[in-house]
Every structure is written in C-alpha cells, then in structure tokens.
C-alpha cells in the first residue's frame, strides 16, 4: 500500500486499487477482503446508491467510535421521519423527504463526525458550526461527546419541514 498526502495539513490517506474491473472498466471500491476502502479522515468509500442498504453499509464501514455515532444519527432521523428517503452520494449518507432533495448529511472527518444541515441557517437555534455556504450549518460530534438527542431531533424535524437541497 502506498501513502500520499491529500493536501496541506491534511491526514494521510492510504491508496490502493482493489478488485477486478467490471463491465464499465472501473475498479471495485472494495478490496478482495470485502472491507470498504477508508478515504482521508477515515471516511468510507461506498458506491452511490439509494435506500437504506447503502446507508447501512456506510455506517457499518465507519471506523471505531464513529460507527456508533453514525448508527445513532440514523436511528434518530428515522425516529423523527420513519419514511425518510436515504442515499449515499459523494461517500456520505444523505436524508431527505423526496428523492434527490436532501436536508441532512454526515461525513467522517479525522477527529469527528460532521453533520451538515443544508438549510441550517434557518433552524432555531442555529447549529453551531459555520459554513462558507450561506444556508449550511454544521454540527461536529467528537469522540466521547454526548449527542443532545432532543436538540438534534428538533433540528431534524425543522430541517425536514423546510425545502430541501436538490442534489
């Protein structure tokens, strides 16, 4: 396996081509062992897909303590919206009220899980993480931090009632 840096000050990411090439000529994203490749920050590389199955595959591939956080976030979103639409896009799980219109996503970073509320600037109270994008706000969850479940579920309820982001 070779290592490369992914940019100034970023974590090192292991890179290797795995698996046989399919009909499209693109290599599989999984090594022969079947375990997903972890990208920079430990984010799982999961093929784009719609529905619960790819999201559960992503969560199962989250490294260490982040897996429990991902499973808890997924459970809380489903508790608020039992019929929520799910997908994995750009190696992140997305949640929305209709296909390709999303209100929330999360992503593994090196030291935390970053939750993105796509219309977060309209939520009350506003999630604490600023963004360069006008409407987006973040919630960063670090190891050993308790999730304020009541607040998170309130944000999910508010976010799901707003127009989502078409992606």
Res 132 pLDDT > 70: yes
pLDDT of residue 29: 45
- Sequence spans of domains, the chain: 35-166
Greater pLDDT, 85 or 167: 85
pLDDT of residue 155: 98
Res 3 pLDDT > 70: no
What does the pLDDT look like over 134-162, one tens digit per residue?
999 999 999 999 999 999 999 999 999 99
Distance CA 163, CA 119 (A): 8
Res 107 pLDDT > 80: yes
Q: What is the pTM of this model?
A: 0.79
Which residues 6+ apart lie within 8 Å of 20 measured at CB? 27, 28
Which phi and psi (to 5°) does residue 21 adopt? -85, 140
What does the pLDDT look like over 32-87, one tens digit per residue?
556 778 887 888 999 999 999 999 999 999 999 999 999 999 999 999 999 999 99
130 in the Ramachandran plot: left (φ > 0), alpha (ψ -120 to 50) or beta?
beta
According to DSSP, the residues that pair with 106 across neighbouring strands are: 115
Topology of the domain covering 35-166: 3.90.1150
């Amino acid at each position: 396996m070779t290592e490369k840096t992914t940019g100034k000050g970023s974590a090192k990411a292991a890179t290797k081509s795995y698996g046989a090439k399919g009909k499209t000529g693109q290599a599989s994203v999984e090594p022969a062992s079947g375990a997903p490749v972890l990208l920079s920050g430990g984010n799982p590389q999961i093929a784009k897909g719609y529905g619960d199955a790819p999201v559960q595959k992503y969560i199962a591939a989250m490294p260490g303590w982040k897996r429990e956080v991902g499973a808890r976030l997924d459970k809380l979103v489903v508790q608020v919206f039992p019929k929520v639409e799910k997908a994995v896009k750009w190696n992140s799980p997305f949640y929305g009220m209709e296909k390709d219109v999303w209100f929330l996503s999360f992503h593994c970073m090196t030291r935390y899980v970053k939750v993105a509320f796509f219309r977060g600037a309209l939520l009350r109270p506003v999630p604490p993480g600023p963004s360069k994008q006008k409407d987006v706000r973040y919630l960063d969850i670090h190891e050993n931090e308790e999730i304020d479940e009541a607040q998170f579920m309130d944000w999910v309820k508010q976010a799901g009632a707003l127009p989502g982001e078409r992606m």
